[in-house]
Amino acid sequence: MLNEKLVQDIVKEVVAKLNLGEGETGMGIFTDMNDAIAAAKKAQAVLQKMSMDQREKIITNIRRKTMENAETFARMGVEETGMGNVGHKILKHRLVAEKTPGTEDIKTTAWSGDRGLTLVEMGPFGVIGAITPCTNPSETVICNSIGMIAGGNAVVFNPHPAAIKTSNFAVRMINEASLEAGGPENVVCSLVKPTLQSSEIMMKHKDIPLIAATGGPGVVTAVLSSGKRGIGAGAGNPPVVVDESADIRKAAEDIINGCTFDNNLPCIAEKEVVALNSVTDELIHYMVSEQGCYMASKEEQAKLQATVLTPKGLNRKCVGKSAKVLLSMIGVEVPDSIRCIIFEGEKEHPLISEELMMPILGIVRATDFDDAVEKAVWLEHGNRHSAHIHSKNVDNITKYAKAIDTAILVKNGPSYSAIGFGGEGYCTFTIASRTGEGLTSAATFTKRRRCVMCDSLCIR
Ligand code: NAD
């Protein structure tokens, strides 16, 4: 007699092995969250038995394929989400491939002495649930995968539905990379159609011990209420302070380069400026005359506000659009050289206090440095995410750093130097602002285990 369950399983497996376009299953893509988790669990059991060297081979292959596909990912992301800039997205994928830490981040601590040898090792959690945003979709999937696999974990993603094609293209690529390097299939998994319900299943599933959520406040709160351990990489609204000791011309250049990167989509990007009154005019002069900024009039500010902020909140059609497109939406035509819209306003101005994720940069005047700090802290809304400053006054920088208490604070450079682009240090697209891990890496996705040998193995 035919075993129906067995037949169904074989059919599922065969379908899964076929080559796979958008919306199809296979190579890590499932229709059901429970099936995705079960497959990832099997893959993790294989991964855990592999040597660190083999894990690293998988990661090396993911890096290589990401470099090869950087332009495809960039074009696909812009086309699918309607957000961002192809050139900058290519750079982001190269950055992820080159600077996301791999197994070298997994380190052992040892104590050896008369009473023996004690080790603390970083072990895998198992299957990690990961929720990813539409603003850096494949960047986050690839970055999370490299770190989580380096830590010995498999991953189940519940990506943003608005970026599912791009996110799942990354999931397939990672599984291809794993298979080619002798690793398991389904080392990362995702769904054809992720929903809030599928993420709820993930959050409650017994085989998911850790959830990493990258996105706005809603998702981080949901994950932190799930009863599981959660890594919460939430929203930001990074202010940049400019004081009178700064190189104002360079500050204008760095701020506009950071603010316009990928049309202001990165959560770390400069979202508003707080400048000392004594340097504000000079800063604006350089922004307009040398950095392609358009100074919006009061009337244009009102039109922009009505366009980008609806009664229900942020107009998603404006997020990640270029300054030229945003201006054309209010009937203002400008040349391609215009890359940022600036204006002066009070900190309470909705285009200044809201996290817009588009190249609209409000400038708030401060009477002195203490006033600047107070305004910047208010504008950061307690996210404890990112803040920036242009200053050569170490006392001012220290005062600001202590007051704003963010995971990232860039001094005298564009915001993206925080993730290793033109700055020292590694790259990540998951900055755990809410839960305090800061810039995540492979080590973040491991648990510490103490291994003690009494009275032996000390050979000093
Ligand atoms: P979003 O919050 O709309 O979506 C992020 C993810 O969460 C998506 O997969 C979405 O489907 C899911 N989601 C949303 N609400 C949920 C809920 N209640 N339960 C379960 N899942 C839920 O964010 P977005 O527009 O994709 O990305 C932009 C936001 O993310 C900005 O606020 C930005 O600052 C933030 N962000 C933070 C980081 C970081 O590292 N801290 C990185 C990128 C983006």
Three-state DSSP string of 105-131:
HCCCEEEEECCEEEEEEEEECCEEEEE
Please give the pLDDT value at position 17: 44
Report the nearest-CA residue for atom 12 of ligand 1: 219
The rounded distance, in Å, linking the Cα atoms of 50 and 222 is 34
Ligand 1 centroid to Cα of residue 215, in Å, is: 2
Report the nearest-CA residue for atom 24 of ligand 1: 133
Q: Which of 279, 261, 276 is nearest to 414 (CA)?
A: 261
Please give the pLDDT value at position 5: 58
Which residues does a 6 A CB cutoff place in the pocket of ligand 1?
A: 131-136, 159-161, 196, 199, 214-216, 218-219, 222, 233-236, 267, 355, 429-431, 433
What is the best residue among 89, 198, 199, 262 to mutate for testing ligand 1's pocket, by most ligand atoms within 8 Å of CB?
Answer: 199
Report the nearest-CA residue for atom 16 of ligand 1: 219
Q: Mean pLDDT across the stretch 124-150? A: 98
Ligand 1 centroid to Cα of residue 247, in Å, is: 35
Q: Mean pLDDT across the stretch 37-49? A: 98
Banded model confidence at residue 266, pLDDT cuts 50, 70, 90? very high
Ligand 1 centroid to Cα of residue 120, in Å, is: 34
Ligand 1 centroid to Cα of residue 119, in Å, is: 37
Residue 132 in this model has a pLDDT that exceeds 60: yes
Nearest-atom number in ligand 1 for the CA of 203 is 20
Report the nearest-CA residue for atom 14 of ligand 1: 219
Residue type, 346: E
Mean pLDDT of the chain: 95
Report the nearest-CA residue for atom 20 of ligand 1: 219
Helix or strand run (H / E) with residue 395:
helix 394-404
Banded model confidence at residue 250, pLDDT cuts 50, 70, 90? very high
The rounded distance, in Å, linking the Cα atoms of 235 and 259 is 16
Nearest-atom number in ligand 1 for the CA of 158 is 9
Q: Mean pLDDT across the stretch 409-438? A: 97
Residue 183 in this model has a pLDDT that exceeds 80: yes
Banded model confidence at residue 9, pLDDT cuts 50, 70, 90? low
Ligand 1 centroid to Cα of residue 214, in Å, is: 5
Report the nearest-CA residue for atom 23 of ligand 1: 215
Here the tokens at position 7 are: 């037949």
List for the chain the helix, strand, coil content (%; round to 5): 45, 20, 35
Residue 7 in this model has a pLDDT that exceeds 80: no
What is the best residue among 80, 160, 427 to mutate for testing ligand 1's pocket, by most ligand atoms within 8 Å of CB?
Answer: 160
Residue 10 in this model has a pLDDT that exceeds 60: no
What is the best residue among 267, 385, 440 to mutate for testing ligand 1's pocket, by most ligand atoms within 8 Å of CB?
Answer: 267
300-329 pLDDT tens trace: 999 999 999 999 999 999 999 999 999 999
321-353 pLDDT tens trace: 999 999 999 999 999 999 999 999 999 999 999
User: Under a CB-based contact definition with an 8 Å cutoff, are residues 77 and 137 in contact?
Assistant: yes
